[in-house]
Structures are given as structure tokens and as C-alpha cells.
Structure 1
């Protein structure tokens, strides 16, 4: 089994990555948030403290990062957009996820974001990572149901 490399990602790579984004992620971004995937990915990479890509055997499996939501409360926004290659390389992908979330918690006291209730694979993964969930509520431009998910740094 090949291991995953976690490498920096740049906005120049966004068009190529956009072409291989997983359908559930496309649905969450375009239908629920009401913006094109390419714009969402461009803004996420540009607005993150630590934008990275997970690569296995030369294939980009996911792109992720953490943005600052609030300096005052030390709140970060973790995000991840997966590609069509994520299931094929699931073990290698999962192996790098928990350490990366721990890295985010060194930069932020609290992590907060929202996940589309229809994105069941993402919800399962977030629970596995240890995030806590709030009740689903309308969110984003189209007011689809999303769960808030959070994690706090242990003091």
C-alpha cells in the first residue's frame, strides 16, 4: 500500500483539481452553498493558513486547509474537498487525517464548520475524526440543511 504525501497546494492547481472533485462535494458546494466549485476551491486555498493536498501514487485524493473564522475566539474553519480518487486510496487518506486535524488545533483553540446532511460519507468521516455535531439547520445561500460540527483544543 502506498502512503499519502501531504503537500502544499497553490491556486494554480485549482482548475485541474476542480475537474476531479467528488460528486457529493460538488452537490454540497454548488447546490447548497450556491457557488461554483472552482470559486469555492480557489477562495478556500487562498484564504487558508495551511492549504494542503493529499497525494497518493501521483493522484490528488483531497485538498484541505484551515481558515481563520475569528481571531478573538481563536476559531478556525477546517475544510476538505475530496476527489474521485479518495475511495480508492481510503486507507492512506485516513492515516494522515487525524494528525492534520491535531495540527489545526495548534493554530486554533476551536474548530467550526458545517456539513450538508446529505453528505453521509463526510459525516461518518468527521465523527471518526472526533468532531461533535449540532442539530441540522438551514445554512448557506440556498438554506439547505447542514449540521454544524466542532472540535475544541484540550487545555
Structure 2
């Protein structure tokens, strides 16, 4: 059974060891250590959640305010190899999550590694627009953005 609980630092440390190869590559391309990146994202998040299947971590997701006074949120999600096994639930839950966060922020914006084709398809499916590729840190990235309607 899938459960959703507030994310913790222990969850971040656990997930960092179990990241999907593509998620790990994206984090490393941004110049971050997976543990540090997850802990920083978690501590800056307005809200963050951990999804588990019978105790096994599927993913963590959250949203960080871009600034203290702005209306832009920076959503993040990193997953384990269990994400594909829960594809349908993952797709439905992330659609619900994005709608919820658009109630908190007028705009959601983050970057996506151009090599991570599954993430690019997923972001398009969620209704995000994507910029042209641009160099960032150690790779080519796109800005993914979605505005409240």
C-alpha cells in the first residue's frame, strides 16, 4: 500500500542511496551531492512529502519558494527505482500535487536535464512549458514552467 508522509531528513538520506540512475545523474550535473541536495531541498521547502510502498521509498517531492516575497515556487521530485512500478499512481499523484502547488504559487519553475528524456516527457504531460536548452553547471538544461490559470 502506498503511503504519503511528511518528508524527513532520514528519508532524504535513505533516498540518496536509492536514487534512480537518471535522477542521480541530474543532481550530479547540477554540481550537487545527492544527500546534500535532498537535505537542502527539504529544509527550504514550504512542504515536502515522502511516498512509500510497504515501507520502501518510492520518491520525495516538495516545493520551495523562489523568494520570500515572490509568487514562484520551485517544485522538486527525486525517485527510486520503484517509480516505474507505480507509474499510474505516480502520474495521478504528481498531477494532483502540481495543481495543489499552483494554489500556493502563481508560477512553478525549475530546470530539467536535457538528457533525462523521461522527465522531459513527464513535465510536458503535466502541462509545463519548456525553454530551449541552455548550459548550466555541468550539462544542458531546460527551464520547465507552469502558470496557474
Q: TM-score range by the shorter chain?
A: over 0.9
Aligned residues: 149
TM-score by length of 1: 0.90
Q: Distance in 1 between matches of 2:128 and 2:57?
A: 24
Alignment-derived partner of residue 70 in structure 1: 67
Structure 2 unmatched ranges of 5 or more: none
RMSD between aligned residues:
1.3
Q: How does 1:101-116 map to 2 (within 5 A)?
A: 101-116=98-113
Q: For residue 54 of structure 1, what is the aligned residue in structure 2? A: 51
1:118, 1:55 → 2: CA distance?
27
Pairwise mapping of residues 18-33 of structure 1 onto structure 2 (< 5 A)? 18-30=16-28, 32-33=29-30
TM-score by length of 2: 0.94
Aligned with residue 81 of structure 2, among 72, 80, 84: 84
Contact 2:11–2:50 at 8 Å: present in 1 too? no
Paired with 2:115 and 2:71, the residues of 1 have a C-alpha distance of 29
**Is the aligned partner of 1:153 residue 2:118?**
no
- What whole-Å deviation, never above 9, does each CA across 1:86-128 have from its counterpart, x for those lacking one? 1111112112111111111111110110000000111111111
The worse-fitting range, judged by mean Cα deviation, of 56-65 and 109-118 is 56-65
* Contact 2:15 2:79 (C-alpha < 8 Å) held by counterparts: no
Unaligned segments of structure 1, at least 5 residues: none
